[in-house]
């Protein structure tokens, strides 16, 4: 009876607008530092504080090559953090002084663009989906919607297939598996638009001679949450049974070396939490089922991420071993990176296996496709930049980033074909 009263009061308060949803997360005076690590003790210290998820947030995990790690620090923790750096002799570079300012700047959009969908601002899920519907309507002969499945919160994970003729080899693009990496869905929609509208001969041939399967926003719940509640959200939104922390890293939830070799975390509060078991996240499970079903139609798999400017390939689980076709994988990677560097922006991409050039990551989608579906060509693209803006890449950089994607893709596909994989 008492419970009933409590419930009734709660309903009354909610409808009166007294009990509200928690407000949008703010990042006033949160800073982002790039740290350079010199030894294991320093790394252990930073990884330990990285687990204090209320105070810190790892933006970019430690990578052995650069010996760097990017970490966001809350204002209340700043003094302690600075003492810690000093005490442990860790050198640091301040990348972002006030994360909230960057977020606010990101929202400022040119008014001229507000009526039509474009690539000078970032859009919310609803807007992206409405645009997708328009595209499907405008190009009914060459496009088709596909449905991967449902997210934890019941959203539909949608994709678009673009096919200009029967019998084309297939290229699969999965984007925005990490919610806060907004540049990835902006690039995916731009790329879709180019495949359908570009008059450039090279782009036309890319559109005509391959079937494109593209998911612009894979982590739909996380993406929505990153717009509405917390700009820095990365994971899925499924609550954990025994813990207050929500979500798992969908890109650690696939059944390929799952939770092995320290390539993911078993701590539900970590940004790289692998989930309770492979496929525990409905999104990852749905993608596995969908890809298994259409595997014969796919030759190349690409996953869009940010940031760091890398083209990463398998393996993610070890740097002691490499795939048997690693030379080809590197040749294709070089073609991609060279093409991008040749543009006037001069942006430099590093390429190589995930474990070798970045860090050990297990249970990722690309590695699952490579190892379990036996696909020979799979890459992760980590877009701009190298930490100046990190995840909050200013809207003016969307189109330059996309131009880089296109020349990179043209070179990648051409080389992949030349080497006999397409």
**Alpha carbons 302 and 282: distance in angstroms, whole number:** 20
CB of 322 vs ligand 0X9, minimal distance in Å:
13
Residue 312 interaction partner, one of ligand 0X9, Zn ion, none, beta carbon < 5-8 Å per kind: ligand 0X9
Q: Where are the beta strands (DSSP E) in 232-309?
A: 300-306
Q: What is the CA radius of gyration of the chain?
A: 22
Exposure string (b/e) for 30-46, b if CB count within 10 Å is 16 or more? Answer: bbbbbbebeeeebbebb
Residue the block writes with tokens 């996309």: 402
Residue 364 interaction partner, one of ligand 0X9, Zn ion, none, beta carbon < 5-8 Å per kind: ligand 0X9
- Compute CA distances 298 → 35, 146, 189, 229, whole Å: 40, 14, 20, 36
> What is the DSSP-derived secondary structure letter of residue 33?
E
- Binding flags for Zn ion, 299-338, as an x/- string (CB under 5 A): ------x---------------------------------
Residue 367 interaction partner, one of ligand 0X9, Zn ion, none, beta carbon < 5-8 Å per kind: ligand 0X9
Q: Which positions touch ligand 0X9 (CB under 6 A)?
A: 60, 178, 181, 251, 305, 312, 316, 354, 361, 364, 366-367, 380, 382
Residue 151 interaction partner, one of Zn ion, ligand 0X9, none, beta carbon < 5-8 Å per kind: none
Binding residues for Zn ion, total number by CB under 5 A: 3
Residue 366 interaction partner, one of Zn ion, ligand 0X9, none, beta carbon < 5-8 Å per kind: ligand 0X9
Residue 316 interaction partner, one of ligand 0X9, Zn ion, none, beta carbon < 5-8 Å per kind: ligand 0X9
The sign of the CA dihedral 342, 343, 349, 352 is negative
- Compute CA distances 202 → 118, 272, 346, whole Å: 22, 38, 21
Among 240, 264, 262, CA closest to 365: 264
- Residue 264: phi and psi, rounded to 5, are -165, 175
- Residue 350 pairs in a beta bridge with 310
Pick 42 or 306: Cβ nearer Zn ion: 306
Residues 176-205 that bind Zn ion (CB under 5 A): 178, 181
Q: Which stretch binds Zn ion (CB under 5 A): 39-47, 172-180, 214-222, 367-375?
A: 172-180
Q: Active site includes 382?
A: yes
CB of 305 vs Zn ion, minimal distance in Å:
3
Q: Does 252 bind Zn ion (CB under 5 A)?
A: no
Pairing state between β 300-306 and 377-383: parallel
Among 265, 256, 191, CA closest to 413: 191
The two structure tokens encoding residue 144: 């088709």
Residue 380 interaction partner, one of ligand 0X9, Zn ion, none, beta carbon < 5-8 Å per kind: ligand 0X9
Pick 170 or 275: Cβ nearer Zn ion: 275
Pick 221 or 367: Cβ nearer ligand 0X9: 367
Position of minimal CB gap to ligand 0X9:
316
**Alpha carbons 177 and 199: distance in angstroms, whole number:** 30
Pick 177 or 335: Cβ nearer Zn ion: 177
CB of 261 vs ligand 0X9, minimal distance in Å:
12
Pick 207 or 384: Cβ nearer ligand 0X9: 384
Q: By three-state DSSP, how is residue 384 classified?
A: coil
Catalytic residue (one of 372, 382, 414, 418)? 382
CB of 184 vs ligand 0X9, minimal distance in Å:
9
State yes or no: cis peptide before 315, omega within 30 of 0. Answer: yes
Residue the block writes with tokens 């330990």: 48
Which H or E run includes 408? helix 398-418
CB of 419 vs ligand 0X9, minimal distance in Å:
20
> Active-site residues: which are they?
382
């Amino acid at each position: 009876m008492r419970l009933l009263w409590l419930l009734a009061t709660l309903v009354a308060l909610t409808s009166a607008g007294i009990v509200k949803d928690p407000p949008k997360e703010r990042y006033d005076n949160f800073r982002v530092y790039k740290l350079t690590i010199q030894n294991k003790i320093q790394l252990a210290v930073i990884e330990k504080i990285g687990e204090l998820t209320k105070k810190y947030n790892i933006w970019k995990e430690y990578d052995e090559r650069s010996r760097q790690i990017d970490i966001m620090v809350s204002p209340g923790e700043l003094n302690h953090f600075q003492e810690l750096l000093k005490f442990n002799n860790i050198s640091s570079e301040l990348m972002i002084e006030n994360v909230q300012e960057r977020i606010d700047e990101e929202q400022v959009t040119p008014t001229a663009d507000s009526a039509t969908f474009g690539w000078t601002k970032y859009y919310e899920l609803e807007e992206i989906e409405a645009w997708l519907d328009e595209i499907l309507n405008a190009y009914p002969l060459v496009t088709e919607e596909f449905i991967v499945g449902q997210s934890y919160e019941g959203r539909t994970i949608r994709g678009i297939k673009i096919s200009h003729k029967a019998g084309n080899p297939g290229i699969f693009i999965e984007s925005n598996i990490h919610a806060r990496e907004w540049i990835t869905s902006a690039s995916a929609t731009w790329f879709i638009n180019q495949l359908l509208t570009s008059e450039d001969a090279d782009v036309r041939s890319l559109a005509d001679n391959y079937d494109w399967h593209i998911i612009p926003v894979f982590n739909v719940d996380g993406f929505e949450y990153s717009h509405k509640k917390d700009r820095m959200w990365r994971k899925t939104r499924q609550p954990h049974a025994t813990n207050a922390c929500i979500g798992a890293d969908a890109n650690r939830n696939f059944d390929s070396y799952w939770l092995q070799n320290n390539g993911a975390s078993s701590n539900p509060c970590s940004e790289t939490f692998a989930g309770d078991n492979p496929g525990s996240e409905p999104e990852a499970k749905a993608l596995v089922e969908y890809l298994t079903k259409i595997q014969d139609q796919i030759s190349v798999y690409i996953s869009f991420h940010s940031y760091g400017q890398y083209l990463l390939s398998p393996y993610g689980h070890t740097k002691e071993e490499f795939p048997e076709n690693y030379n080809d994988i590197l040749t294709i990677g070089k073609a991609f990176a060279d093409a991008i560097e040749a543009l006037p922006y001069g942006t430099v991409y590093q390429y190589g296996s995930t474990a070798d050039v970045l860090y050990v990551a297990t249970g990722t989608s690309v590695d699952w496709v490579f190892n379990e579906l036996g696909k020979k060509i799979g890459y992760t693209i980590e877009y701009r930049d190298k930490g100046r803006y990190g995840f909050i890449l200013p809207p003016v950089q969307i189109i330059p980033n996309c131009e880089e994607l296109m020349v990179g893709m043209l070179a990648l596909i051409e080389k992949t074909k030349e080497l006999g994989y397409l």
